[in-house]
Amino acid sequence: MKIRGLSMALAVPLVAMAGHGLASDYGTPEEARAMLESTVAMLQADKVGTLAMINAGEIMDRDLYPYCGGPDGMFTAHPNQELLGRSLRDLEDKEGTAFGETLYAEAAEGDIAEVPYMWPRPGETEPVQKVAYVTQVDDQVCAVGYYED
């Protein structure tokens, strides 16, 4: 897991979370939720800095990473720079399900919802079940997704 430039209060939950999944190549639902909760706290403390850290790939653990979209539906933060400036709201999964729209519909300040969709694991082409934990933080819709077994 990569973490740079965090205050100790915000970094400790992320570091603690990283040690739990060392036996697996993939993040767990608990780790995904904890990452989203930590990202929310970071965004509340420093929105601009946290979005920059997400874009720089500095908040990642194996296949877990946060991503965010603004009120216009466009990605504001994602470790894959090619997605910045593209529409998060218009994303469809490999089966044609408009899960980006569902992310926006389910996101609510102070609550974490689950949005299922089909997506290939990194380096693979066959889609498998993935679930995004999603919430709203100020004007940002943010999520962290994990793959089900």
Q: What is the mean pLDDT of residues 130-143?
A: 99
pLDDT number for residue 12: 44
Q: What is the mean pLDDT of residues 53-78?
A: 98
Q: What is the mean pLDDT of residues 101-107?
A: 98
CATH topology of domain 8-147: Beta-Lactamase (3.30.450)
Instruction: Answer yes or no: is pLDDT of 96 > 50.
Output: yes
Chain segment 47-59, per-residue pLDDT in tens = 999 999 999 999 9
State the Cα–Cα distance between residues 102 and 24, nearest whole angstrom: 29
CB-based contacts of 112, cutoff 8 Å, min separation 6: 33, 36, 37, 133, 134, 135
Q: What is the mean pLDDT of residues 120-125?
A: 90
CA distances for 26 relative to 2, 51, 121, 146, angstroms: 15, 23, 9, 8
pLDDT band at 94 (very low <50, low <70, confident <90, very high): confident
pLDDT number for residue 24: 85
State the Cα–Cα distance between residues 11 and 136, nearest whole angstrom: 21
pLDDT number for residue 113: 99
State the Cα–Cα distance between residues 13 and 30, nearest whole angstrom: 12
Instruction: Answer yes or no: is pLDDT of 20 > 50.
Output: no
Tokens coding 131 = 């679930």
Instruction: Answer yes or no: is pLDDT of 15 > 50.
Output: no
